[in-house]
Amino acid sequence: MSEKESKLQAQARKNGEGNVQESETERLSHMERDAVERLTKVGDEFDQPNAPDHSDR
């Protein structure tokens, strides 16, 4: 483990985050959820009959 990594873990413990790896995983799952929500909204647009036509791209 590099010095930077151990500093990050010490900082995380001080902040009460626990394991740095775990908080990184949580952050990624939030990003994933946001992406899925955005894609769902785009998909809903295409499902609407009077949605703007994007087929000319």
Domain boundary assignment for the chain: 3-47
Number of Cβ within a 10 Å radius of residue 48: 8
Using one digit for the tens of pLDDT, what is the confidence trace for 17-28? 555 566 778 888
**pTM of structure:** 0.35
Mean pLDDT, the chain, as a whole number? 73
Q: Interhelix angle for 20-47 vs 3-14, to 10°? A: 80
Whole-number pLDDT of residue 22: 61
